[in-house]
Chains A and B, each alone.
Chain A
Amino acid sequence: MKKSFISRRAFKTLALNLVVWVFALAWMLPFIGLVAVSIQPYREVVVKGWVRVPDLSSLTLNNYIEALRNPLYDLATGYRNSVIVAFLSSLIPVVAAALTAYAFANLDFRLKALLFATILFIMMVPQQLTVVPLFLLYRNLGLYDTFQGIILLHSAWGIAWVTFFLRNYFRFIPRSLVEAARVDGASEITIFYKIILPLSIPALIASFIMQFTWVWNDLFYALVFLASRDKQVITQKVVMLKGEFHIDWGLLTAGSIISMSTPLILYVVFNKYFMRGVAAWGVKR
């Protein structure tokens, strides 16, 4: 009796695992294909197709080296530019938005509701809609084709949603903590640094990673606002790996993987915080 119960449970577990793995494989197949193609010579992919176990003896990193080193493609410069742009375009909005979010979560001031609604509204505006006036503005201000320009642009968009995200997180922190600190004589700045920020590390990390990934993956603004070769970011460079008449799939996939690796690694490293930040406050009180 008991035995059959256990085996039924085992069967259930097995079936569940099977289903989950099937879904996971379907989900990962494009990525597996990407990796497989990137580490084989182009010739072999064309002749034998990509859905197979690669021939170990023919594996190569040439595609990666070529993509990074060849001055024609110059992915290395693009990577460096992306790091600069994405890092600053994430750091600036997270710092600025944390301060704004604190005000929205813990202070009372005039027009608070209206201002907050404005921020929500800004979040809803499609980026494409703003590009023409911004382009003209940037050309006049001399911000066109500069890092400062694109960082400013991404930061501005980032501040809106990160403010929204962090304000919601800050509101999970019991209000009595803030009030206790006020009665104890702490200034708002002290409360912000000593109480709110340390308790919000998961949310700060989560919003930083999401913003970083967003900026890193952006192609649209980069195409419009960064023109010169030495300023272009990695997404622009990856596009250029594809020739007009000829596509070297090995080169293109290697470029894609280099490009997507950084957000992926960040996500894996900070996964724990990321989950906590998104799932909000769960500390036992």
Chain B
Amino acid sequence: MTSAFLKLDRVTKRFRNVIAVDKASLDVGKGELLVLLGPSGCGKTTTLRIIAGLETPDEGRVYIDGVDVTDMEPGDRDVSMVFQDYALYPHMSVFDNIAFPLTVRRGKLRLSRRDIEERVLKVAKMLRIEELLDRKPPQLSGGQQQRVALARALVREPKVWLMDEPLSNLDALVRMQVRAELKRLQKDLGITMVYVTHDQIEALTLADRIAVMNKGRVLQVGSPKDVYENPEHVFVATFIGAPPMNILECKATEEILECPGFSRPLQPSTRGLQGKLYVGIRPEHIEIVSISEVTKEDVVEAKVYVVEPLGSEYIVNAVLEGEIVKVRTSRELLLSPGDTVYLKIDWSRASVFDFESGGSLGKLLKR
């Protein structure tokens, strides 16, 4: 049907009057890792559950490997899912937990007890949990439970792996370690994976492509670099990046762009802009300069609000007529709140968004 291995075609899901997922379309290639990223309540988990078959969409179709699975039971779709709370069966041993997807369909898969044992041991070895097989889940640490959940999802060799914030219950160090392992595993085994998270770092590090969702809609699908550098929607710009893109509410007239605290002439190529709009500038595209370095027209004057040290770099919060602008700098500057600073903005990397729809209007300057 299409070249996409997993395809969502204008899927909509309503819960009473709330639209959880709004005409979401996605294509995931075979062996690709797609991350669904968005704030809580954006519909990413519902989208995942629709793929799993735990929710039935009100409109739209879901295809896996060319087959329309929209009306299929979850168990018939050949997908596996790792839940946020791992959903390990507390009364079964680790071995029985991992074996469960095989034992319940032993007849269908024509597996002997030996076959099951072999396959469980194989994944257990891969995830380094062989010595835990006799234990029960409540006796395991969070990281170990996580591995068991991964093993259970892996043992069946499913067509699509679904992950619902699987790392959010782990502490920071373990999370980073498991994250790297997960990506390696996915690449080594060539598994098609859909991964839900609200953590943009997780999304940027793991994903082949990211789908950013908000209020039930898929706003942008692209590579991490693409989503970071060329946000197609003001929401994407404010959601990705730490700290996120600075968004200034500006007004364009024939030749002038008026922003809080400053205004600048518009170049002929961007004269089409008219009226209210958002201008977005990444914190790393603003430089703090001393007044002697440049002429005054090129810079914007601001007051320091606070400086946040991040170890290797600093986030300077500067106030422009009541608006806080974040500046990322690696230089150690001796600044105190209230000091005057001069900001040099790299206008060639500034983005412009429509005030009404939030959609991208491209870059402010054509490079």
Contacts and interface: CB of A to CB of B under 8 A. Distances in A.
Check if A and B associate. yes
B73 interface: yes
A60 B52 CA distance: 71
Given A195-B89, A284-B138, A285-B138, A185 B104 contact: yes
A179 B54 contact: yes
Main secondary structure of the interface of A (DSSP, over half): helix
A49 interface: no
B54 A177 contact: no
Contacts of A17: none
Contacts of B162: 183
A186 interface: yes
Contacts of B75: 182-187
Interface string A215-239: 0000000000000000000000000
B74 A183 contact: yes
Interface residues of B, number: 27
Contact of B152 (A184, A190, A284): A184
Contacts of A190: 104
Contacts of A179: 52, 54, 74, 81, 83, 87
A246 B39 CA distance: 80
Contacts of A185: 74-76, 101, 104-105, 108
B54 to A, nearest CB: 5
Interface in A177-198: 177, 179-187, 190, 194-195, 198
Interface in A237-267: none
B100 interface: yes
Interface in B72-105: 73-76, 79-81, 83-85, 87, 89-91, 100-101, 104-105
B280 interface: no
A127 B104 CA distance: 44
A187 B74 CA distance: 10
Interface string A139-178: 0000000000000000000000000000000000010110
B43 interface: no
Contact of B101 (A176, A184, A283): A184
17 contacts: A174-B85, A176-B83, A179-B52, A179-B81, A179-B87, A180-B83, A182-B75, A183-B54, A183-B75, A183-B80, A184-B101, A185-B101, A187-B104, A190-B104, A194-B100, A199-B91, A284-B138
Interface of B: 52-54, 73-76, 79-81, 83-85, 87, 89-91, 100-101, 104-105, 108, 137-138, 152, 156, 162
Given A181-B89, A183-B80, 11 more contacts: A176-B84, A177-B87, A179-B81, A181-B100, A182-B54, A182-B73, A183-B74, A183-B79, A184-B80, A190-B104, A195-B89
